[in-house]
A and B are shown apart, each in its own frame.
Chain A
Amino acid sequence: MSRADIIDVTASSSPDLRAAREIPEGWISRLAGKAWSLLSGRYTGYLLVAPTVLFLAAWFLWPVLTMVYLSLTAHSVDGVMVEGFTLENYIRLFSSDLYFRILMRTIRIALMTSLFAALFAYPLAITIARGGPTLARLVTITILAPLLVNVVVRSYGWQTILNKTGALAWVLKLLGVSNPPVLLYTEWAVLIACVHVYLPFVVMPLAGAIGRIDRTVEEAARVAGATRFSVFLRVIFPLSLPGLAVGVSLVFSLSAAAYVTPQILGGNFSPLLGTLIEQQILTLNDWPFGAAISTLLIAMVLASNLIFLKLVSRRFARWTAGAR
């Protein structure tokens, strides 16, 4: 339905709509009428987002501000918190090679998870958007199934597959690999498990984006002699970029902040920033330094997402410029 259609429907003079817009008498009715006029007026947008904004302000913005404040307070060496403003936590964070290297690992794992998830997501999303209803439902259920299992249980499941006597080693031995590699407690184990669980977050928005692409555009390309791959590369991929952008942003953010999966499958040899935050807060009781690492993580995820979304929207605008 186009924007013009929507405007036309709301402006229609059907008896039902007219009845709904009539304001009955009484104060409740007047209040309802006032609310209706506000909602249908220039404040509509603000009013619709207000509950979400208030919710996020109370449960996200305020805690984040508290965290940033905490990261600027002091902490004595014997684990006792003390009042006072200091940049010491950030100086420690940026002067140590350890935190920089773990930050780089966090970005690397998040990027690789996003990349692999995107690669695996396209065939699945095309199947959901363009396949038959039964196949589409089957793929959707299969894709969403990992989300029904608790992250701890899922990680232990991967552990039994990837350990040195696990299913993977068994299959590789059957295939003739005498000394199969043990992936458990390596970055690969973290990557595999992250791609597995975060895949639906790319597939679903991507399937939505591909489903919205007008099939006649693809048919026109085919009629003009494009191969299936060319149609994907020049039609489906560019037009599905908004869906991909949403999915990749979600996967990047979730992977960067992952804690349980790296903890169980990385064996503390491949910790991400989340592990260090937990260590500082729960083990060392150094909330200010833990808050400084958390602030760095949030800033990194936010900056990466903003840059990525900007690049994608610019690319999308360029690729679709000819169509407008």
Chain B
Amino acid sequence: MTTLSRRTFGKLALGATTLAAPMGFTRNGWAQGKEIQIGIWGGSQGEFVKKNIIPAFEKDFGCKVTAEEGFTLANVGKMRATKANPKFSVMFIDDVAIPICKTEGLIDQLPSADMPALANLYPRFGFDGWGTALAISVASMFHNTSITPPGSYADLWKPEYAGKLKLVSPKNTPSVFFLIVAAAVKSGKPFAEAQYLVDDSFDKVAALKPNIMNLFDNGPQAAAEVAQGQAEIGLLELSKYIYPYTAKGAPVTMSFPSEGSFAGNNCQVLVKGAPNKDLAVAFMNRMIEPAVQKAFSEYALTAPPVSGIEFSAETLKYIAYPVEEMDKRGLFTPDWEYINAKRSGWTEKMNGIFAV
């Protein structure tokens, strides 16, 4: 073993300190001048990320973050297209697509040691380390405030609702929630079991057709139509599309039938082979820090996936938080791995019922 003299050690220490000084004196100096490209959502959530979260992060880290808007499957498409030569570092997608990204090798597991904010993440929103949730919406029924909504989904099949319901289109994720509801109503089983009985429940789905006015694929538009009285009830949609209207005083709100509700999880994932991975991880960590989550949740009226955030009573009216409140409302997250394999066939069956 080589021994160092006290003089040599002193020289080395001085040299190392000199070299490290610029980084040590500048906060997050390692990130200076680095750049990452991220895929985010459009709409109000994307707007908040671009206008508030990214500028503060860029200032703190002396870096550049370029955000490109898209929706879940478009963002998955971008990861596919750049798989050989990754361009994006972080991608925002819904939980439905995480199993697909995992199977196709598009994403990496998160380095938990480098993400201190993970300590506050509720385990159910960690997706086995393949991403984190960023915002949780409740998917349920919405209705015009002039009517009393049914207490159970089963009531929607009654003739008194003929032509008064708007149903979500098969192209939207909440249509899967509706299929689970139909299976639960037919079988009398909870959502967790009913999701595996959807194949046998399309007769129940078809029986609802006389009550359906149309199939909608635009949540805010459907909320506006229900508020105008074009239809009485819409099923099902995420609260983030309905509550902004409710909060502005429109006569539309959500109701939570006895069978339970669904969790719509907006998530973030780390792209495999991400350029400037360290900066990407820092950004993902920032996204789940309590201060960021509080502001983000209050803006979009979604629940945060982390514990320990205080909200005003007004905000708590619109979000299911903390996790005990989610459980109380029976927020259910489907088995996406099973459903993704079935979804094409289910969509074809729904088209067969409603489109011809």
Contact = CB atoms under 8 A, between A and B. Distances in A.
Nearest to A105: B356
B230 A101 contact: no
A268 B209 CA distance: 12
B56 to A, nearest CB: 33
Contacts of B149: none
A268 B344 contact: no
Given A78-B99, A163-B225, 7 more contacts: A78-B100, A79-B341, A98-B356, A267-B214, A268-B169, A269-B215, A284-B347
Contacts of A98: 348, 351-352, 355-356
Interface residues of A, number: 32
B355 A165 contact: no
Contacts of A282: 73-74, 171
Interface stretch (A142-150, A209-217, A271-279): A271-279
B286 interface: no
A224 interface: no
Interface in A6-39: none
Interface string B317-356: 0000000000000000000010011111001100110111
A188 to B, nearest CB: 14
Say whether chain A's binding surface is mostly helix, strand, loop, or mixed: loop
A164 B164 CA distance: 12
What is the interface of chain B mostly: helix, strand, loop, or mixed? helix
A80 B229 contact: no
Nearest to A164: B230
Interface of B: 73-74, 76, 80, 99-100, 103-104, 169-172, 213-217, 225, 228-230, 337, 340-344, 347-348, 351-352, 354-356
A49 to B, nearest CB: 34
Contacts of A77: 341-342, 344
A282 B340 CA distance: 14
Interface of A: 77-81, 96-98, 101-102, 105, 163-165, 184-185, 263, 267-271, 275-276, 278-279, 282-286, 289
B213 A185 contact: yes
B171 A279 contact: yes
Given A185-B214, A271-B355, A279 B347 contact: yes
Contacts of B340: 78-79
